[in-house]
């Protein structure tokens, strides 16, 4: 990215980071796990994200600094070490106090489509016909807060929904985000395709996966999103049991969170900055 947008974003990153926002980050698990260089980069990303996105409370929720910074911090972890365009297809984040009711369509046996009323923790919208017009990310604040405070259970709704946004930057939410090099597409498709098929076959045979969330078997887009959660939340286990999958995600995100976990376990982390 060049020109006026980069210039403007660099000016935003140069602003002082509010002390009240730093206090919020004390309670964000992922911020405490990364090193100080990454924290500094993350704070710059948070400033840009909150300058460019509109975060709106729904069902009477008042949007506070805690809500804004917690969402931004988790969303921006996915942008570390990469050329960030700050989720260009997402202009608005809608936040409900807790899980909300939504109507969805499900494809059943023999191609029959049924409408279902579901309780949801989040959604990520993508306009396939006009990507530049964007689509909102919808989140439950209760789920966001739970995921931010508990950083090792494999579940983080912000990681999940913003992974869908990254996926959609390639033109559609299909589990194949835009990769840095064309040569990366074949190994990406080979590894993720094999892991996805293994998950689907195992569930069909009555197996309960030990690590990957069964929800990832819904489709390749959901598989990418749940694996993103796993990559940042339980990286050492993912690396140990799904090494090729971990390597592909490490290449894509340009991060090695298993190393954070090792440093944390060994007491190598300093006090929070």
- Please state the separation of Cα 153 from the chain's center in Å: 15
State pLDDT tens for residues 167-219. 998 887 889 898 888 888 999 999 999 999 999 999 999 998 889 999 999 99
Domain boundaries, the chain: 4-265
State pLDDT tens for residues 231-264. 999 999 999 999 999 999 999 999 999 998 555 5
State pLDDT tens for residues 122-139. 788 765 544 444 579 999
Whole-number pLDDT of residue 173: 86
Residue 70, both tokens: 């917690």
> So what's the architecture of 4-265 in CATH?
3-Layer(aba) Sandwich (3.40)
State pLDDT tens for residues 93-111. 999 998 877 766 665 544 5
* Helix pair angle (157-168, 141-149), 10° resolution: 100
In three-state secondary structure terms, 206 is: coil
Torsion of CA 136, 139, 141, 143, to 10 degrees: -160
Number of other CB atoms surrounding residue 188 within 10 Å? 19
Would you say 163 and 224 are in contact if contact means Cβ atoms under 8 Å apart? yes
Would you say 50 and 44 are in contact if contact means Cβ atoms under 8 Å apart? no
pLDDT at 77 over 90: yes
Whole-number pLDDT of residue 261: 59
State pLDDT tens for residues 112-125. 556 666 777 778 87
| Confidence band for 266, pLDDT divided at 50, 70 and 90 | very low
pLDDT at 25 over 50: yes
Q: Tokens 């023999």 sit at which residue?
A: 110
Residue 194, both tokens: 């094999």
Whole-number pLDDT of residue 114: 60
pLDDT at 40 over 50: yes
pLDDT at 156 over 90: yes
Among left, alpha and beta (phi > 0; psi -120 to 50; other), residue 116 is: beta
């Amino acid at each position: 990215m060049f020109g006026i947008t980069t210039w403007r974003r660099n000016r935003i990153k140069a602003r002082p980071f509010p002390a009240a926002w730093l206090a919020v980050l004390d309670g964000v698990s992922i911020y405490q796990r990364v090193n100080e260089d990454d924290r500094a980069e993350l704070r710059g990303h948070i400033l840009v994200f909150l300058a460019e996105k509109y975060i709106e409370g729904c069902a009477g929720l008042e949007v506070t600094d805690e809500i804004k910074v917690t969402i931004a911090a988790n969303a921006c972890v996915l942008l570390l070490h990469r050329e960030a365009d700050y989720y260009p297809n997402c202009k608005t984040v809608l936040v409900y106090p807790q899980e909300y009711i939504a109507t969805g369509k499900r494809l059943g046996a023999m191609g029959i489509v049924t409408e279902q009323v579901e309780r949801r923790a989040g959604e990520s919208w993508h306009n396939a016909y006009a990507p530049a017009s964007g689509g909102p990310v919808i989140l439950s604040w209760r789920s966001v807060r739970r995921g931010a405070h508990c950083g090792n259970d494999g579940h983080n709704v912000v990681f999940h929904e913003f992974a869908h946004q990254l996926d959609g930057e390639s033109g559609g939410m299909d589990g194949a985000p835009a990769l840095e090099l064309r040569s990366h597409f074949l190994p990406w498709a080979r590894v993720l395709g094999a892991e996805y098929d293994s998950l689907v076959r195992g569930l069909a045979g009555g197996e309960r996966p030990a690590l990957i969330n069964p929800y990832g078997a819904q489709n390749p887009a959901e598989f990418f999103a749940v694996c993103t959660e796993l990559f940042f939340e339980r990286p050492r286990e993912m690396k140990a049991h799904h090494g090729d999958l971990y390597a592909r995600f490490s290449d894509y995100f340009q991060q090695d969170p298993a190393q954070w976990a090792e440093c944390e376990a060994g007491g190598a982390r300093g006090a929070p900055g």
